[in-house]
Each structure stands twice: as C-alpha cells, then as structure tokens.
Amino acid sequence: MLIALLPGDGIGPEVIAQARRVLDALDLPGLTFEEALVGGSAYKAEGHPLPAATLDLAKRADAILFGAVGDPDCDNLERHLRPEQAILGLRKELTLFANLRPATLFPELADASALRPEVASQIDMVIVRELNGDVYFGDKGMRQTADGRREGYDVMSYNEDEVRRIARVGFETAMARGKKLCSVDKANVLETSQLWRDVVIETHAEYPEVELSHMYVDNAAMQLVRNPGQFDVIVTGNLFGDILSDQASMCAGSIGMLPSASLDANQKGLYEPIHGSAPDIAGQGKANPLATILSAAMMLRYSLGQPQAADRIECAVAKALAGGARSPDLGGSMTTTQMGDAVLAQLR
Ligand code: NAD
C-alpha cells in the first residue's frame, strides 16, 4: 500500500510529521510512503502548485495524506498558479467527488465549542458534501449589461447522475451509523435543488432502512447551532456543504481537531485536516496535529481496509485528551511535537 504524503505549506509539514510518527508506530506491514511538493512550496521550487510528478504520485498511490496549502507570498500570483489551485486540481483530476467531514465533540473539549457545553456535547454527525459540481464548476465570468454596468455570473447546475452518486454515499454513510439522513437543499427557490431533492427521494428506494428527511439550507444553518444533536448524516451540494461544514466544525471545538476525507467512486481518497496552512502560527510549534492524525485514521478506515488500526488511533487521541494534552488552540501550552508524543504514549 503506497501512501502519498503531500505536506504543503505553513503548518502542513509540521502536522504531517506527527501523523507520520503515529502511522510508523502502528508498524503495519506493507505500508510505504512517498513524499512530494504541493502548493506554494511546489510553486517556489518548480513553478507550479501541482507539478506533474506530484499528480503522478497522487494517481499511483492507494491514498493521499495532505497537509495544507496556502502561502501569503503567493497571494498576488495569477489564479491558476496560486497554492490553493493544487487542492482543486487534485479533486478534479482524481474525481474526488465525495467529501466526508465528521464533526464529533470529544467530551473533554466541551468548553472549546462555540456552543453551550450541554448543546455541544450532543454533536456527533458526518457532513457529506458533493465536491465536483455545483456553482463552483459552472460557467462563470464577468460581462457588461446593455447599459454598460459590470455584472458577474456563476451558473449553478447538477445533473441527475452527479446527485445520485453523492446521495448513495450519504445513504451508505448513514447505514454505517445511525441510519438517519438529512438532505439539505433550497428546493423552494432553486430548480437545481428541486432536481436534487427528486433524485435523493428516488435513491431512497435503494436504502429503505434509512430514515430520510429534507431541510432547506437556511433552516439547516439555524438547526446546526440550535439542536445539532438531531443530525446523524447530512448530504448536500458543494456550495451549501462548504458553508455548513465549517459552521459544524466550530460547533465541535477547535478547527485543529477535525479531519476530512475526499473520496472517489472506488474509495480511493485524499485525507486532510479541514484547516488551512495557518501562516500566523507556522514554524512556531503551536499547531495542533490532532486533525491530521485523525485524518490518517480515516485513511486507514476508508481507503486501506484497516478499521482496527483506525480505532487504535482514535482511541489514543481520546485518551491523550483525557490525560490533559492541550495545544494552545485548546487552551493549553503543549507544542506540536508534544501533542504527537501524547498520542504515541497512548498507542503503545
Ligand atoms: P486557517 O485554517 O489556515 O487558519 C484559521 C485560524 O485557525 C488561524 O488563526 C490559525 O492559526 C488557526 N489554526 C488553523 N489550523 C490550526 C491548527 N492545526 N492548530 C491551531 N490553530 C490552527 O485558515 P486561513 O487563515 O483562512 O487560511 C490560511 C491559508 O490556508 C490561506 O492561504 C488559505 O487559502 C489556505 N487554506 C487551505 C486549505 C487547504 O489546504 N485545504 C483550507 C483552508 C484554507
């Protein structure tokens, strides 16, 4: 099993180093690693944020563990050369259409949530976000109106096949959890959402055991902070999912805690923390590596067929937190390496 390690920029290399220590400590037979440049570091070394060799490694690998991209030095580059284009390019080139973001609150971190502890403690959900379609990939541009004013436009669309494949991921995810799926759309206003809702209802016939509900996105945003415990699995489009998953992450505590998976139709995936390259704390040993360590656990579970190893990592993280491991974002003073040490101590 080949794992592509793409540390990227800012705190990316710092958090990936800790995840690598944890994976090494598991001593799983047949696991090999190859590392490549991506993002701003790749642009500086090779003139492109996603060099051909990096894309080739990502295609050859069984799974990809990704740090983060983003470098203030690159903010004025043409858009196609900016570090963030690397992650969009990987999603598109590898057809990673399903983004899974678990949002679970470790009980020890109830105080870190933006919500009251008694509300936050109920959070245990997965948001399944479509990644390859919607308004982000539709026709877009700037034009002039007949009377000479500037107008920007971005076309929103989904075809039924795109909706069906992500709906199936939503139902499958619900089957493996609490068997409740909430589909989020804006079918009262948008035709794209009406098709979305129709196709989700058709797909439900394949999963009769799952309890399906529908919610408008504005109501979902409200319900996520009012009563997050009502959600088991949410499935939604690219734009709504982008916003709701960030909202859910802050309800669940620090951004430094949450992992994610982006999967293709064959469970090959790219695994990354949901945070960015955090240039404000890069190189200072302040980054919380737990989101990346938990991303490695997701990788073992979803792409590498090693659910027991995934459980071991998740259990070690929970024990490290219970034992008082806290980086600055969690109100403590432990360094990135000390957080890695705390997890390793619980693995052994
Ligand atoms: P960010 O997630 O990098 O940082 C937001 C805040 O959270 C910062 O204060 C940061 O210090 C803190 N933070 C983030 N991760 C942390 C961690 N592991 N431990 C402790 N604190 C942490 O978001 P941003 O500041 O909006 O963006 C910075 C750069 O990252 C930008 O260039 C952006 O485009 C990029 N970005 C990349 C990805 C990705 O690689 N998938 C995702 C989001 C943002």
pLDDT in tens, 48-94: 999 999 999 999 999 999 999 999 999 999 988 999 999 989 998 99
pLDDT in tens, 329-347: 998 999 999 999 999 999 9
- Measured by CA distance, the residue closest to atom 5 of ligand 1 is 278
In this prediction, residues 243-247 reach a mean pLDDT of 89
pLDDT surpasses 80 at 151: yes
Please report the atom of ligand 1 found closest to the CA of residue 72. 32
SS3 39: coil
- Mutate which of 16, 64, 255 for ligand 1 pocket (most atoms within 8 A of beta carbon): 255
Lowest mean pLDDT among 6-10, 100-104, 188-192, 253-257: 253-257
The 8 Å CB, 24+ separation contacts for 52-59 are: 54/6, 54/86, 55/89, 55/90, 55/93, 57/4, 58/4, 58/6, 58/90, 58/93, 58/94, 58/270, 59/93, 59/94
pLDDT in tens, 63-73: 999 999 999 99
Please report the atom of ligand 1 found closest to the CA of residue 68. 40
* Per-residue three-class SS string for 253-286: CCHHHCEEEEECCCCCEEEEECCCCCCCCCCCCC
The pTM for the full model equals 0.91
Q: How far is the CA of 12 from the centre of ligand 1 (A)?
A: 10
| Mean pLDDT (the chain, rounded) | 95
CATH architecture of 114-251: 3-Layer(aba) Sandwich (3.40)
Q: Are domains 1-96+267-348 and 114-251 of this chain identical in fold?
A: yes
Q: How far is the CA of 55 from the centre of ligand 1 (A)?
A: 23
Q: What percent of the chain has pLDDT over 90?
A: 86
What confidence score (pLDDT) does residue 312 get? 97
How does strand 98-104 pair with strand 124-130?
antiparallel
CATH of domain 1-96+267-348: 3.40.718.10
Structure-token pair, residue 331: 């109100």
Which sequence spans correspond to the domains of the chain?
1-96+267-348, 114-251
Residues designated as active site: 136, 186, 218, 242, 246
